Amino acid sequence: MNSSLVDLLPPLLIVAPILAATLPIALGLRFDRTGWSVAAITTGALFAAAGYLASAVHAGGRVTHTLGGYPRTYGIQLVADQFSILIVLLVTGVATGVLAYTRRGGPRGNTFYTAYLLLVGGLLGISLTGDVFNLFVFLEISSLATYALVASGDGPESAVAALKYLILGTVAASMYLIGVAFVFMATGTLNMVELAEAIPNAERQTLIQAGFAFIVVGFATKVAQWPLHTWQPSAYEQAPDGATPLIAALVSTASAYAFGRLIVTVFEVDYLASMPRAASIVLTVGCVSVLAGTVLAVIQREVKRMLAYSSVSQFGLVIAAYGVVIAGGSETAFTGAAIHLVGHGILKAGLFLSAAIVATSYGARTVDEYAGLAKRRPVVAGAMAVLLFALVGVPPAVGFVGKWYIALGAVEAELWPVAAVIFLSTMLTLAYAARLLEKMYFTPAAGAASARGHGPSTVATDGGEQSDGERGSDGGDESAAEGREDRASDDGAVETPLAAGVSYDPTGGPGRDGPGRSPDPVSSGMVAVVVVAALVAVALGFAGGAFADFLEPFLTEVFN
Amino acid sequence: MIDLLASRYTYVLMFVLLGIGIYMAIASENLVKKLIGVNLFQTAIFLFFVSMAYIDADGASAPIVPHHGEPGEVMVASPLPQVIVLTAIVVGIALTAVGLALIIRIYSEYGTLREDTLREVRADE
């Protein structure tokens, strides 16, 4: 393998999307819709490059690049090792998948794809940087892109959500920066490897402890841990349907990764274990979030909001696993955290994509409106069911493997409360997952008629030009059910609007499919993305051992 | 104690600024003032970085190549924190710009800059 080429990949992975982000706007001056093509080419290439880099890391260990040739004492280093390459693969993979969805699902427009590429560049930067200050810069780049994406949602509510996110996110990143300042003050270096050597030998230990405290608060906000999660549900809910999967799957995941990186590489487990109360604080934050997040998710009515609160609890699991790592030096728990980060990213991307498909085709956004979905869209409902079961932690899906390793680590470290919390949260996760499943599979669709008038895309059908045996919305409920059964058979093919009032405007989008034929807002490609996400979630469940093997060299290094 | 305050008065100043900034961000009902508070909060951290560069070098000059004197004779502050603060300032400006753009959008949609009024308007809808 050409080593010089591999050395160049880490900077290229960061620079390419950021440079490409300028293209949609620049080309947009001449051409109308180039954004998607540019983004597709870039993220596709990034995914391929990430795969190549992963194979190089797997074969030869860590790949480092020293930017500008400055020594790492004051320069910036980019590092791809086993832990970071997992997140790089997740970021590029999910970005490619979500992009495939946005081809038909939207949002469209060149500026959207600019923000999209900036976000991907920032997230890859978070994953690959080996410098704690550089980490702050990339955190802020990806946050800025996220604020823009959230604000691009329909309606003024999204601006309010984005501003709330901006203020909390900025304060959180600043907290992290204070922590970095304290640690820098005590050690005089910003490089992660140098810090790992300097921190235990530093004279002023109080500074480092204060620094770690600030870093914990900063990341607890960025990762959306209770009670600092308040920005997250409204941000996820108000972001455009096509952007939420990306934000939910990646932004907090990258922050959680960065926190784990700081724990194992910078502060190092042995040092943190000797720091008073560090372990118990991280453990408490994680466990409380697990319980608070699931309880809050159970009482939500909106599907997107429910999934958002579910993220609070799932990231709580990861943070709790970090607590186990600090308290017990448990490699198993760390493997579990890494698997859960990747698995949760894929699960949330799939779930939010399914929610987006349902919202696009029926305008259904609350749990009640999902009634009878399995009849109308069996493929999407099936994929969603698989993803929900994976989220609960039913074997063999990936959600189970992550939880299993974390729980095993907790038991090994004799932290029984953590194991109990994981068990309890699984029950509660089942509570909200089962509620959605029950609506989709066992509640008749007639209940959906009560959903009349919900959702921003709702337009009452006027019974106008509909050539394929469809009637207008003025029919009764019986005939509506009849029409629905007709359509139950052709999922994935032309989907005509639901007659029960929640429907897509049949006269909208003229010209694309010819007059008189309602354009299908959901293409088979969009459905395929969700199905692939569900399949990957199950397939990765079988790969738990492979994950552990892949991480093995990294683990032996950081845990000695 | 007095000595410490006299020699490290910049740190005290920074944390007073930090407190004022975070208080404004939390307590002010006006969205623009909130954003100014966040800005103040960030700026305090930037100043902290700058003053920290002089930490072990009392009486050090700014980190620029001196006109006179041999290398090694003149005590200069560490250039690294000062350089990285430059990046952080750029990030802060970008954040302020995005925040102000969002505030303009909120104002044009709801016709108010106050958070309490905004809450009422949104509750009515």
ipTM of the complex: 0.91
**Residue A158 C-alpha, separation from nearest chain B C-alpha, in angstroms:** 9
Instruction: Count other C-beta atoms under 10 Å from residue A181's C-beta.
Output: 23
Answer whether residue B11 shows pLDDT above 80: yes
Closest CA to A81 of A540, A557, A559: A557
Contact B84, A136 (CB under 8 A): no
Nearest to A181 among B48, B87, B105 (CB): B48
Query: Which residues, 6+ apart, have CB-to-CB distance to A545 below 8 Å?
Result: none
Contact A301, A402 (CB under 8 A): no
**Residue A339 C-alpha, separation from nearest chain B C-alpha, in angstroms:** 32
Q: How far is Cα A55 from Cα A493, in angstroms, rounded to an integer? A: 39
Name A78's bridge partners: A65, A129
Report pLDDT for A484. 40
Report pLDDT for A507. 39
Q: How far is Cα A431 from Cα A299, in angstroms, rounded to an integer? A: 10
Is residue A530 helix, strand or coil? helix
**Residue A214 C-alpha, separation from nearest chain B C-alpha, in angstroms:** 13
Answer whether residue B96 shows pLDDT above 90: yes
3-state secondary structure A125-139: HHHHECEHHHHHHHH
Instruction: Count other C-beta atoms under 10 Å from residue B100's C-beta.
Output: 14
Q: How far is Cα B122 from Cα B109, in angstroms, rounded to an integer? A: 11
Report pLDDT for B44. 92
| Mutate: best of A134, A160, A176, A215, partner B, most B CBs <10 A | A160
Q: What burial class does residue A5 get, using C-beta atoms within 10 Å of its C-beta: 0-12 exposed, 13-18 middle, 19+ buried?
A: exposed
**Residue A171 C-alpha, separation from nearest chain B C-alpha, in angstroms:** 7
Is residue B114 helix, strand or coil? strand
A492: left (phi over 0), alpha (psi -120 to 50) or beta: left
Identify the sign of the CA torsion A150, A152, A156, A160: positive
In chain A, the residue whose alpha carbon lies closest to the alpha carbon of B88 is A137
Average pLDDT, rounded, for chain B: 83
Task: Kindly state the average pLDDT of the residues B16-40.
Answer: 92
Nearest to B91 among A137, A160, A190 (CB): A137
Contact A52, A2 (CB under 8 A): no
Report pLDDT for A362. 79
In chain A, the residue whose alpha carbon lies closest to the alpha carbon of B23 is A171
Nearest to B99 among A166, A185, A190 (CB): A166
Report pLDDT for A500. 41
Give the residue numbers in B contacting A (CB under 8 Å), as ranges.
Answer: 22, 25, 31, 34-35, 38, 41-42, 45, 48-49, 52, 55, 78, 80-81, 84, 87-88, 91, 94-95, 98-99, 102-103, 105-106, 109-110, 118, 122
Report pLDDT for B89. 92
Contact B102 A163 (CB under 8 A): yes
Q: What is the pLDDT along chain A (560 residues), one digit of tens a residue?
A: 455 778 888 888 999 999 988 888 888 888 877 888 888 889 999 999 999 988 888 888 888 888 888 888 878 889 888 889 999 999 999 999 888 888 877 777 788 888 999 999 999 999 999 889 999 999 999 999 999 999 888 778 888 999 999 999 999 999 999 999 999 988 888 888 888 888 888 888 888 999 999 999 999 999 988 888 888 888 888 888 888 999 988 999 999 999 999 998 888 888 888 888 888 899 999 999 999 999 999 888 888 899 999 999 999 999 999 999 988 888 888 988 999 999 999 999 999 998 888 888 877 788 888 887 888 888 888 888 889 988 888 888 888 888 888 999 999 888 888 889 988 888 888 888 888 888 888 887 754 444 444 444 444 444 434 434 333 344 334 444 444 444 434 444 334 444 344 444 443 333 334 343 445 677 777 888 888 888 888 888 888 788 888 888 888 877 76
Instruction: Count other C-beta atoms under 10 Å from residue A334's C-beta.
Output: 27
Enter the tokens of residue A534: 């569900």
3-state secondary structure A474-501: CCCHHHHHHHHHHHHCCCCCCCCCCCCC
Q: How far is Cα A50 from Cα A93, in angstroms, rounded to an integer? A: 9
Contact B102 A137 (CB under 8 A): no
